[in-house]
Structure 1
């Protein structure tokens, strides 16, 4: 029975997912409801930074921190948008095992961060640019 309890965290970790990734994010800019191509944008996450010229598609990989998009274009104010990855059930699972039955107990605590359903960034980001 003790061995079964100690193997449970490994089984839970094997079932865990780290989120969806690998799909591109379409980056667009607009002004007054009309498409505004040719803006220089910096797309960043904790995994890195990508410089793009809109319209563009960026593959940022699996969600890793906030998605930040900062865009500049001559004649327009710098605009920034920040997105937190959606993660409906992110949590940690802890498992403790200890002795009993009149014996001195020793507790073992194990914690595995598990994100059920993963997290994701939006598939399309349109940054609204305002004239100066």
Structure 2
């Protein structure tokens, strides 16, 4: 929750900074004759609207350029040969040749030790 509030605060401060830099509003601070401080703001809504629409157009053109470039790259990556000439999976021939048989391991039963541990094979004698 604190992170979300920090993000909102950062967005408000960022918007305020960008607005002040772009000239969207002006702050005037003055003292009255009785000594009170008077703060007035002047917001230029036409400038805010024109700047934001220009920004959105620029963002749209940048995204469009990236999409066009990606489409050209994808088109260039497609092979020029037809998919029918691509070799398929290799299958063994059906002309009667047999695959060599795999030798089986000897089937010798191993009895577990009485103490319940891991069964060990006796060393082979030479």
TM normalised by structure 1 equals: 0.24
Decide which structure has the larger Cα Rg and report it: 2
Q: Which structure ranks higher in relative contact order (CA pairs < 8 Å, sequence separation ≥ 6)? A: 1
Which structure dedicates a bigger proportion of its chain to helix?
Answer: 2
Which structure dedicates a bigger proportion of its chain to strand?
Answer: 1
TM normalised by structure 2 equals: 0.25
